[in-house]
Amino acid sequence: MKRIIYFSVLLALVSCNRIPEEKRVLEKDKADKVFVMQVPKARCANCQKVIEGGLQNVAGVKQSILNLHTKEVSVVYKPEEISKIDLEEKVKTLKGQIPCK
């Protein structure tokens, strides 16, 4: 039984640490701004889905990328539609919803 528990824990740790290199690139127009915030507990694709998916439908957000290697979310946004403060609050809320704690 101990072996099964040990193997399960080891498998979970290894699977969350096998992160492919981030190859996506931010696309920004002249009027756009970029907001970057640390997400130190993000470790897996599910964390990416929560953060990026949560930002996808926010008015004024054009694109977001959560890089699991740097533990940073980068957001391209239109400052005339959403403020940096509102964006920061939204990311803080989403950080609390990620599965990796």
pLDDT digits 0-9 by tens, 2-38: 666 665 555 555 555 567 888 999 999 999 999 999 9
Q: CATH: 3.10.450.50, 3.90.1300.10, 3.40.50.410, 3.30.70.100. Which one for 29-101?
A: 3.30.70.100
The whole-number pLDDT of residue 20 equals: 82
Please say whether the beta carbons of 94 and 50 come within 8 A: yes
Contacts for 37-40: CB closer than 8 Å, 24+ residues apart: 37/72, 37/73, 37/75, 37/88, 37/91, 38/71, 38/72, 39/66, 39/71, 39/72, 39/73, 39/91, 39/95, 39/98, 40/71
Residues 91, 16: Cα–Cα separation, whole Å: 21
User: pTM for this structure?
Assistant: 0.80
The CA-based dihedral angle spanning residues 44, 49, 54, 56, taken in that order and rounded to the nearest 10 degrees: 130
How do the domains of the chain map onto residue ranges?
A: 29-101
pLDDT digits 0-9 by tens, 39-64: 999 999 999 999 999 999 999 999 99
Residues 66, 71: Cα–Cα separation, whole Å: 7
